[in-house]
Amino acid sequence: MDSQFTVFHRRRCESGLSSNPPKGLIWKTCLRDIVFSLEYGSIDGPIGKDWRCFQSASAYRFILEVICGLHSPILGETEVMGQFKKFLNTLPQTEYHLPEIFSDLIRDAKVVRNEHLVSIGAATYGSVIRQMLKNATQIDVIGSGQLVASFLPWVLKEDRNIRLFCRSIERGNERKREVQELKQGSFEIVSLDKFESSQSSGPIVVAAPVSDIFLARSILDPKIKVIDLRGGSAPEGELKNGQVISLAQIFNRVKLNAYRSQSQIAQAKKRVSLMAIEWSKQLKIRPQGWEDLCG
């Protein structure tokens, strides 16, 4: 059977369901898990209902929409493209013929963004969080993953003192190195187990799946602003301490902009669909299949 470009996808809010992931290259974002493969059905055991499968042109169209920010809560946001590029940079040399497809996706995504989404991506997670932290000089951040990496450059555009609380000091130092040239104030990496005794005096950004109980013990001042980016991953429900701004509230702040951008989004999706069709036509004229395309 000929190989087909296959993509399996599930949203993170569904990831609590028990199922075996498909076999392939796994890309994890803040909101979804995506598996890339060229062999449909090559899995260890049955796939759970939380996984959705796309193939050939449909797979190409779906991934292109994702990396263009067309499936993001903030439509047209740019962070997901950066996350995809970082994912590609971590891939080892494998037997897969996927790098050629990934190159096509990056090329087409740049065209779609430049022609249809230039002004839409301005309301990114980072820019919204930066507005919420206006005039704050001391900020505590919990977490050190890709979500933190996406908004730190925005936060550090102003002179601030940052304390990054994380489980992995090594990953925290990695985040620090990434923004070294942007840093204007101080930037301290602190072990997460020291947060409870840290006595935060400024806003707190929660970007890691810590429990509400842990935060409640640590945030005693009801006037402290807490930007809670945990979304559906919060183990015990909404945090009651502090002036909490939830992930849903951040999304609501850009809802009006998203409404105004519906025409641009529609044009972008139409362009993506046409690109997927053209991409699939290239495969049909190659007699050697993937080996001819990617060899």
- Given this chain, do its domains 6-120+259-294 and 125-253 carry the same CATH topology? no
> What pLDDT, on a 0 to 100 scale, did the predictor assign at position 132?
85
CATH class for the region spanning 6-120+259-294? alpha beta
For 220-258, what is each residue's pLDDT tens digit?
Answer: 777 888 998 887 544 444 556 668 888 888 777 766 655
d(CA 211, CA 214): 5
What are the extents of the domains in the chain? Answer: 6-120+259-294, 125-253
Encode pLDDT of 174-203 as tens digits: 888 877 766 567 888 999 989 888 777 789
pLDDT of residue 244: 85
Position 178 scores a pLDDT of: 79
For 38-47, what is the mean pLDDT? 55
pTM, whole model, 2 decimals?
0.56
Q: How confident is the model at residue 211 (pLDDT cuts 50, 70, 90)?
A: confident
| Of 33, 34, 29, 36, nearest in space to 6 by CA | 36
Q: What is the pLDDT of residue 111?
A: 96
Give me the CATH code for the 125-253 domain, please. 3.40.50.720
Q: Is residue 19's pLDDT more than 70?
A: no
Question: What's the pLDDT at 131?
Answer: 80
What size, in residues, is the chain?
295
Please answer whether residues 185 and 137 qualify as being in contact, where contact means their C-beta atoms are separated by less than 8 angstroms.
Answer: yes
Judged against a pLDDT cut of 90, whether residue 118 lies above it is answered with no
* Per-residue pLDDT, 279: 93
Q: Using one digit for the tens of pLDDT, what is the confidence trace for 81-103? A: 988 998 998 887 654 567 889 99
In the structure encoding, which two tokens stand for residue 90, read together?
């971590």
CA angle 95, 97, 103 (to 5 degrees): 130
